Amino acid sequence: MRNVTKDNITDVFMGYLAEDTDPRMREIMGSLVKHLHDFARETNLTHEEWRTGIAFLEGCAAVETEDRHEFVLASDVLGLSSLIDMLHSRDDATSSSVLGPFHVSGAPPLPVGGDMKRHYGGPLLLAEGVIKDTAGNPIPGAEIDIWQTAPNGLYASQDEEQDTYSFHGLMTVGEDGRYAFTTVKPVEYTVPSDGPVGDILRACGRHPWRPSHLHYIVKAEGFQPLVTEIFPEDDPYLDEDTVFGVRKDLVMRYVERPAADFPDGMVLSGKVTEPFLHVTFDVTLAPADT
Ligand code: BEZ
Ligand code: FE
């Protein structure tokens, strides 16, 4: 095309795609470019603004490392990661929620009833529940990968004071599908805001806080893996999570109980002398083939 105009450029782009372009590629690229062109036309984007956008992308690339994923963080604070989660979440299963950049593969095994709090200070939390199928039957042998921050609000990979796997554990449930562990009550914390994503948050008058949460990845043979989080209902940031991860069914009550109510069969049984917090959160997995 030798007569490209601001009105026909989107069609011209489509015309440049090879006849045999993969149909899904055609759909995605066509839609992406249409929305990009409409965005520039609607906002009458200037050269300077376009350069600012390019500098943002270059800034993200410059800070990317094995432990720092600025492009993913950008997707998170723009709500794109959560939107994709919700597009593919099933109504009859537990909602999924953002993975975030701090999951570490290879967490050490944590037995059912195990303890992740160890010597750390802060309120003791007992978290338990049953991993079920959509009919409500327990899923024996399901695996639950758990991670959270230390009481200082930092994940192990962000904090030289912590071991590689502190506050990370991989639990395999028994015939009853039940998981249970003790930990420290998670705290609210800020996503990394010292890079280009922090600049965007500040430019939009937004804060970098996430409500406190526990992260789970739950897997079982024959079921769709689930990446999710649990939030306490009294967290001050519940209604303003900077990465849009809160879903109604993931908000739970942490109930304070006297030490005498601490159950048997836990690593800390017989050692708890103060009141503790208790949350019950059952997880429903969708079958893999639907
Ligand atoms: C997290 O919850 O670990 C997280 C999620 C998104 C961005 C940053 C952190
Ligand atoms: Fe997190």
pLDDT in tens, 8-47: 999 999 999 999 999 999 999 999 999 999 999 999 999 9
Ligand 1 center from residue 97 Cα (angstroms): 10
Task: Say which residue the tokens 């939009």 belong to.
Answer: 204
SS3 letters for 168-210? Answer: EEEEECCCCCEEEEEEECCCCEECCCCCHHHHHHHHCCCCCEE
Q: Looking at ligand 1, which residue's alpha carbon is closest to its atom 5? A: 100
Fold of the 75-284 domain: Protocatechuate 3,4-Dioxygenase, subunit A (2.60.130)
Q: In this structure, which ligand is nearest to the CA of 213?
A: 2
Determine the distance separating the centroid of ligand 1 and the alpha carbon of 172, expressed in angstroms.
24
Tokens representing 133 are 């199928």
Relative to the CA of 210, which ligand 1 atom is closest? Answer: 2
Provide CB contacts within 8 A for 130, sequence distance 6+: 138, 176, 177, 178, 179, 282, 283
Residue nearest to atom 1 of ligand 1 (CA): 100
Strands 143-147 and 214-219, by their bridges, are antiparallel
Torsion from C-alpha of 235, 239, 245, 251, nearest 10 degrees: 50
pLDDT on residue 232: 97
Q: What is the CA(270)–ligand 1 centre distance, in A?
A: 35
CB count, 10 Å around CB of 56? 16
Pocket test for ligand 1, best of 63, 210, 244 (most atoms within 8 A of CB): 210
Pocket test for ligand 1, best of 69, 72, 73 (most atoms within 8 A of CB): 73
- The domain spans of the chain are 9-45, 75-284
Listed residue (81, 67, 59, 48) closest to 196, CA to CA? 59
Name the one residue in this structure whose structure tokens are 């004071």.
161
Q: Which two tokens stand for residue 253?
A: 């009550």
Residue 190 Cα to ligand 1 midpoint, Å, equals 9
Which residues sit with Cβ closer than 5 angstroms to ligand 2, an ion?
100
Which residue's CA is the nearest one to ligand 1's atom 2?
A: 100
Distance 102 CA to ligand 1 centre (A): 7
- Hey, which of 67, 68, 76 would you mutate to test ligand 1's pocket, going by the most ligand atoms within 8 Å of its Cβ? 76
Indicate the burial class of 68 (C-beta count within 10 angstroms; 0-12, 13-18, 19 or more): middle
Q: Which atom of ligand 1 is nearest to the CA of 191?
A: 8
pLDDT the model gives residue 192: 93
Say what the pTM is: 0.93
Ligand 1 lining (C-beta closer than 6 Å) = 73, 76, 98, 100-102, 191, 210, 243
Name the residue at shortest CA distance from atom 4 of ligand 1. Answer: 100
Atom of ligand 1 nearest to the CA of 229: 2
pLDDT confidence of residue 150: 96
Ligand 2 center from residue 49 Cα (angstroms)? 32
User: At 213, which amino acid appears?
Assistant: H
Regions in the chain scoring below 70 on pLDDT: 290
Cα 46 to the chain's mean position, in Å? 35
Q: Tell me which residue has its CA closest to atom 3 in ligand 1.
A: 100
